[in-house]
Amino acid sequence: MKKVQPRVPSGFHEFNPAEQIILEQLKNQICRSFESFGFGPVETPAAELKEVILAKGHIDSKQIYTISRLPGEQDLSAALEDLAHSLDEGRLEESLQNLPLKQNPDRHAPDAIGSKLLNHIQELVKRSQTDMALHFDLTMPVARFVTNHKASLVFPFRRYQMQKVWRGERPQDSRFREFYQCDIDVIGRGSLDTLFDAEIPSIIYRTFQQMKIGAFIIRISNTKILEEYLRSAGIQDDRIIKVKSVLDDLEKVGIESTMSKLSEVAGISFDQSRSVIAFLTDDTSSSDEMLEKVKNLKISDRFQKGVEELSEVIRGVRMFGVPEEFFRIDMRIARGLDYYTGTIYETVLVDYPGIGSICSGGRYDDLASHFGDEKFPGVGISIGLTRLFKRLLLAGLIKTKASTVAPVLVTVLDLRCMNQYIRVANDLRMIGINTEMYLKVESLGKQLRYANRKGFQVAIVAGEMELARGVIAVKDLIVGNGIEIPIDVAAETIKKILGAVSDRE
């Protein structure tokens, strides 16, 4: 039999069992936090129609994966091979004559053979392709979902969505081609109050507080302020998006390098770009001082509007109970994406700035505009979970424990006692304790080695003699000692022992 190397595609990643256990806990924690604010689950298909995914037009379509049919692909390559052979042997004309073409070329082509050939290939290509592409984020799908189901949804609509997305990144950039995004959005019909923009940082705050990954800061800004400021610095409208993506890299590449890049991309002088950067990277002013500073700049009505929104959001963030040390106005955040129209957020770990933003988002007022005339303004955030999890693991901020979800292993020493082993296991499960049974009679040493390698906390050990006395031994696998307990109260006693084990950790 021909052997195939069992490996995953380049740019794709899978976690080991111990990591996956922690990742699932993290996913659960995030969902529960979102739900505590009234966000409900939504799941959309992995595939969207190409026309839907491309509706917005100016997204970066280079990274989009489409879906094809394997039999169609196989037919196409076989046909191309066949045609090449026929050509080599000088019987291309004959081969093409015999093709069952759906649609005969009605072109008055000087070269009827070439025309048949192209028609044939076009048909085969079409049959191999589908009308679908894999979603590359969860923002486009939610815009589609909301306009799709607007008649039955109740607005403002709060949903969370935790799904994989796919992007054809170059693997040498060490980015994932498949990763989880966890998004929340509140979407209004017609309008959506700024209070919703102010609630979001309180959700970010509660969610990351519970994760216990150290100090973090939610940076808040407003895209109207940034855009109008750039405009007032002499930057043309058609360069703003490029300028924003240069600013997004500011922390990665440093101030000096950003200045030269900015003056080049923005078409402004180096001195002008120096003053732009100085304004954006003001680290010394408090949020209130920043607000005062921008209030006094009379740049434009839209700038003024942005300043008012930002003041309102900051007032609201305080009201929603986010402590001062967890947020600040930060003008350097740009969110290169062109769909934000107001408030924007980023969140960074104070002690691990290199990890970058762990949670970003903002307000968008016309995301669904390519699906209809009605306005569905929304505000939301996204956590790039796979990347975040990887980095928290690397930084030691999240640690794996065991590669089993069960704390208890019931060893099996004597097949004649199976009924009692099974009884203990089922009693434990009934009171919510995950329990695995070692379903093979082997030496106790071998069973305990298995238990230790997988990271069980306790092992239940009992032979015919113990069971005859109505007792079992509970072996604490971390400390190494063991006690005998009556089988009748085994489950409750083990529950107490596990409580003590986890307190000790």
Minimum distance from residue 53 beta carbon to a second copy (Å): 9
Report the nearest approach of a second copy to the CB of residue 446 (Å).
12
Smallest distance, a second copy to C-beta of residue 245, A: 20
Among the listed ranges 1-9, 227-235, 327-335, 339-347, the one in contact with a second copy (CB under 8 A) is 1-9
- Please list, residue by residue across 223-248, b when 16 or more beta carbons sit within 10 angstroms of its beta carbon and e when fewer do: bbbbbbbbbebebeeebbebbbebbb
Q: What is the DSSP string of 316-347?
A: HHHHTT--GGGEEE-TT-----TT--SEEEEE
Instruction: Please tell me whether residue 71 binds a second copy under the rule CB under 8 A.
Output: yes
Is 151 among the residues that bind a second copy (CB under 8 A)?
A: no
Query: What part of residues 461-490 is at the interface with a second copy (CB under 8 A)?
Result: none
Binding to a second copy (CB under 8 A) within 307-346 occurs at 319-321
Contact call for residue 372 and a second copy (CB under 8 A): yes
Instruction: Tell whether residue 51 is a contact of a second copy (CB under 8 A).
Output: yes
Among 232, 281, 300, 403, binds a second copy (CB under 8 A): 403
List residues bridging with 219 in a β-sheet.
328, 346
For residue 25, give Cα distances in angstroms to 42, 160, 162, 209: 19, 17, 13, 15
Q: Name which position in 58, 100, 103, 152 contacts a second copy (CB under 8 A).
A: 152
Q: Measured in whole angstroms, how far is the alpha carbon of residue 155 from the centre of its chain? A: 25
On whether the CB atoms of residues 483 and 433 are closer than 8 A, the answer is no
The verdict on 253 binding a second copy (CB under 8 A) reads no
The verdict on 101 binding a second copy (CB under 8 A) reads no
Binding-residue total with a second copy (CB under 8 A): 127
d(CA 48, CA 144) in angstroms, rounded, equals 9
Nearer Cβ to a second copy (269/434): 434
Interface of this chain with a second copy, residues 191 to 230, rule: CB under 8 A: 193, 195-196, 199, 206
* CA torsion through residues 140, 141, 143, 147, sign: positive
Subset of residues 4 to 23 that bind a second copy, contact rule: CB under 8 A? 4-9, 12-17, 20-21, 23
- Kind and range of the H or E run holding 253: helix 250-253
Instruction: Mark residue 11 as left, alpha or beta (left: phi above 0; alpha: psi -120 to 50; beta: remaining).
Output: left
**132: which strand partners?**
49
What gap in Å lies between CA 42 and CA 37, rounded to an integer?
A: 15
Q: How far is the CB of 421 from a second copy (least distance, A)?
A: 10
- Is there binding between residue 175 and a second copy (CB under 8 A)? no
In angstroms, give the least distance from the CB of 461 to a second copy: 17
> Kind of pairing, strands 378-384 and 408-410?
unpaired
CB 438 within 8 A of CB 410: yes
Q: How far is the CB of 110 from a second copy (least distance, A)?
A: 5
Q: Rule CB under 8 A: which of 29-48 touch a second copy? A: 35-48
Residue 43 or 292 with smaller CB distance to a second copy: 43
| 156 preceded by a cis bond (ω within 30 of 0) | yes
Contact 421, 437 (CB under 8 A): yes
41 closest CA partner among 52, 27, 53: 27
How far is 39 from 200, CA to CA, in rounded Å?
Answer: 12
Residue 352 beta carbon to a second copy: minimum distance, rounded to whole angstroms:
25
Asked if residue 50 binds a second copy (CB under 8 A), the reply is yes
Our CB check for a second copy shows the closer of 92 and 333 to be 92
Q: Does 67 bind a second copy (CB under 8 A)?
A: yes
Residue 103 touches a second copy, criterion: CB under 8 A:
no
Amino acid identity at 293 = K
Tell me the per-residue interface mask from 408 to 447 with a second copy, x by CB under 8 A, - otherwise: -x--------xx--x---x--x--xxxxxx-xx-------
Comparing CB distances to a second copy, the nearer of 35 and 488 is 35
- Among 107, 252, 295, 446, contact with a second copy (rule: CB under 8 A): 107
Query: Which positions from 128 to 147 touch a second copy by CB under 8 A, shown as an x/- string?
Result: -xxxxxx--------xxx-x
